[in-house]
Homo-oligomer: A and B are copies of this chain.
Amino acid sequence: MTTAGAAQRRETTRREYNANLAECPGHEVLAALSDKWVTLIVSALADGPLRHGELARTVAGATQKMLTQTLRRLERDGLVTRTVTGTVPPRVDYELTDLGHDILPLQRAIKAWAETHIDRVHAARERYDGRHQEPRC
């Protein structure tokens, strides 16, 4: 019997689709860049290496958990290096790799686009909201 066929095939299709998306370079990069803290950490490190604590202070607002988590990901992706010095008290420095530096221009490009177009977006939003949320009566 093929009763479970329809729903199941859709599910499969979706998985494959998501897998394709995940493997698409463009999406990988977007996913990485758009992470709430990645941009901030990378910017913070743009001027030179920082210790964990310094980073925590610079990127105020980030949980310690998020900080470590994000740094691990960045390290894994080869965007930052993690250097441990001594054991007690431990000292850990984070520094941007060449690859890490390479994303700065891209970030700047996005920022530039944003700054030149964001006004239009905001204007559009106001128009939309005015048209849709205001009482009709």
Contacts and interface: CB of A to CB of B under 8 A. Distances in A.
B14 A61 contact: yes
A114 B26 contact: yes
B124 A76 contact: yes
Interface stretch (A27-35, A46-54, A84-92): A27-35
Contacts of A129: 76
Q: Which DSSP category, helix, strand, loop or mixed, fits chain A's interface?
A: helix
Interface string A88-128: 00000000000100110011011101110110110111011
Interface residues of A, number: 44
A39 B27 contact: yes
Nearest to A37: B21
